Amino acid sequence: MHDLLFSGAVPLAESQHDMSKKFHVTLHDIAQQVNVSKVTVSKALRGHPDISAETVKKIKSVASELGYFPNYMARNLSSNRSHTIGVVVPKIAHFFFSAVIEAIYDAALENNYDIILTVSQENVERELRQIRSLLSMRVDGIIISVTQQTKDPAIFYQVKEMGIPVTFMDRAIDGEGFNSVVADDFGGAYTATEYAIKSGFQRIGHLGGFAHTMIGKERFRGFKAAMQHYKMPLHPEWIVRGGFSDADGYDGFMKLYESHKLPDFLFAVTYPVALGVHQAARQVGMNIPKDIDIISFGPHGLNEMFSPQMNYIEQPTIELGKKAVELTLNNIRQRDGFIPQKITLPTKLVLCDQEFKKVAS
């Protein structure tokens, strides 16, 4: 029995210069064994209705006996579909992105699609390089969360021209003809600010993100809108525009601290920024929330560690990933008939509770 096992594959190997091919069984090998043609095997393995149940059974058994794995490179080349979605993110080791990425993987699997993930590391050149790479891999669609520096939409138009749907996730750039799935940054910021106002804080400050990013803009806009709606004066000295990292939060707080006119409440643009604030506050001997309270966007399950816990705006990470995949898939399936969609998912104000929640396993 075992002599037969590689009877198709081994002779093939002998004639190969590349030894790595040694044990790569092909349709041809199976066809020989079963005494049918390659095409029959191909059809049988893919569940094509043409082939008789008996033949299918025989073919399948031989296939698994030989340890056959379809060669996707060959399959994709001839069918001209890769059944793959390319993804570009700025970071992986990041609370928010790692959660979204996982959701993307799960959603894709449910739809029998593969994901090819790439990382730009917040670097525009690397981002471009990765997009090119995905194009060369002939992905069927691309989901991207751009870097904080990405401004030029040219490449995205080029991708679209190639017939490859583009879906922006969370971080979008201006431009027509693309899908996008973003969290309701404006609404979240508005709610957070409103909460501070209604809680009676009088000196409310904002540590905002980069002014040129959608997120930085929208969250600042939500902050302003709430302040204006409740007739609170906007104090420019309490508004610091920086980046999205903990270092930015640290620096921002220190800047306020050194000016000797700290607000009594801070709305931080991201969770890392809030962490930086915590760090800085501890360093100068100030207590949160006693001396100064804070709220920020989405800690993504990390809040449990804090004592006392922080209030926050929950971002729909799972939904973002899921929607991005669905949208991209719809676009891929409908191709030209598809009208690009822009989806905004709601955020939620979470006031800290003491109930036990799962963090990460």
Partner DNA sequence: GTGAAAGCGCTAACAA
Partner DNA sequence: TTGTTAGCGCTTTCAC
Binding residues for a copy of itself restricted to 139-198, rule: CB under 8 A: 140, 158, 161-164
27 touches, from a copy of itself, DNA, none (C-beta below 5 to 8 Å by class): DNA
- Would you tell me which residues interact with DNA (CB under 7 A)? 12, 17, 21, 24, 26-28, 35-40, 42-43, 45-46, 50-52, 55, 68, 70-71, 74-75, 77-80
List 142's β-bridge partners, or say none. Answer: 86, 166
Q: Is 136 in the site for a copy of itself (CB under 8 A)?
A: yes
What CA–CA distance (Å, rounded) separates 191 from 347? 9
List 208's β-bridge partners, or say none. Answer: 241
Contacts of 295 (CB under 8 A, 6+ apart): 192, 195, 196, 265, 266, 267, 268, 274, 310, 311, 312, 313
What CA–CA distance (Å, rounded) separates 88 from 141? 11
For residue 85, the minimal CB distance to DNA (Å) is 19
Binding mask 54-93 for a copy of itself (x = CB under 8 A): -------------x-xxxxxx-xx--xxx--------xxx
DSSP strands (E only) in 187-283: 204-208, 239-241, 265-268
For residue 142, the minimal CB distance to DNA (Å) is 19
Closer residue to a copy of itself in complex, CB, 232/247: 247
Q: Is 14 in the site for a copy of itself (CB under 8 A)?
A: no
Binding residues for a copy of itself restricted to 268-287, rule: CB under 8 A: 272, 275-276, 278-280, 282-283
The amino acid at residue 53 is A
List 266's β-bridge partners, or say none. Answer: 205, 294
For residue 330, the minimal CB distance to DNA (Å) is 21
Report, in angstroms and rounded to the nearest whole number, the Rg of the chain calculated over CA atoms.
Answer: 27
28 touches, from DNA, a copy of itself, none (C-beta below 5 to 8 Å by class): DNA
What CA–CA distance (Å, rounded) separates 303 from 309? 6
280 touches, from a copy of itself, DNA, none (C-beta below 5 to 8 Å by class): a copy of itself
The helices-and-strands tally (H runs, E runs) of the chain is: 14, 12
Q: Is 15 in the site for a copy of itself (CB under 8 A)?
A: no
